[in-house]
Amino acid sequence: MNCEIEALLHKTVSLSESEILALLTEHYPDKVVFSTSFGMEDQVITDFIIKGHFPVKIFTLDTGRLFYETYTTWEQTQEYYHTKITPYYPQAKAIEEYVQENGINAFYQSVPLRHACCHIRKVEPLKRALAGNKVWITGLRAEQSPHREQMPMVEWDESNQIIKVHLLLHWKTDQVMAFLRSRGIPYNPLHDKGYPSIGCAPCTRAIKEGEDFRAGRWWWEHKSNKECGLHIHK
């Protein structure tokens, strides 16, 4: 697998986003998936995929605690592209047991309880969505956190046993927003209200001037490099 990753890194280094998508879908037919949260980066990638007619399966994780604006963006995106995006939901029994035992907002109480909630609502549904596929395209960008600055564009995800490709790794926020606005692509209006990173509503707030890109995620936790478990970095 290391040789395969190295080969892809070598091949993609000088390719455009559309050329990378063409390479991946040709080499891994019907085995390339893209996870969208309808954030700014994901809207750019969705545009590349759909307008380029690339056979990439697009899915989203509906945690049940998303912002109203996110659901609206989801609906607008489907209407704009005349497509349907596949939703994956948490297992009902797992959610019921978690809330019954810990409370509806237990994630505020401790990091382990927050991790448990993220696992039920995101990590487990993601594993189902990725199962049987070979390549997972993401919207992660180097600018988003110190950990992500060191990421290669192509890497092996050991947890999910899949190749990850960060299509917009080196794009800057201004570049992302300029792309969306110049083409009239729907995007989450929370981005215009100080939310560079948007997750579940109870776990996300706008950031203040000068704060880190992801300071608004799990804002009550006093640690850096906070993640939900979807993207594990060495």
Strand order in the sheet with 154-157: 86-88, 57-61, 32-35, 135-138, 162-166, 154-157
Among residues 24, 22, 19, the alpha carbon closest in space to that of 7 is found at 24
**Which position has the token pair 């497509």?**
83
Among residues 67, 77, 76, 44, the alpha carbon closest in space to that of 173 is found at 44
Residue 114 to residues 20, 62, 106, 143, 165: CA-CA distances in angstroms? 36, 17, 7, 25, 27
Among residues 138, 152, 158, 118, the alpha carbon closest in space to that of 58 is found at 138
118, 200, 203, 228: the catalytic one is: 228
Name residue 87's beta-bridge partners. 60
Phi then psi for residue 169, to 5 deg, are: -50, -40
Clarify whether 228 is annotated catalytic. yes
Enumerate the active-site residues. 228
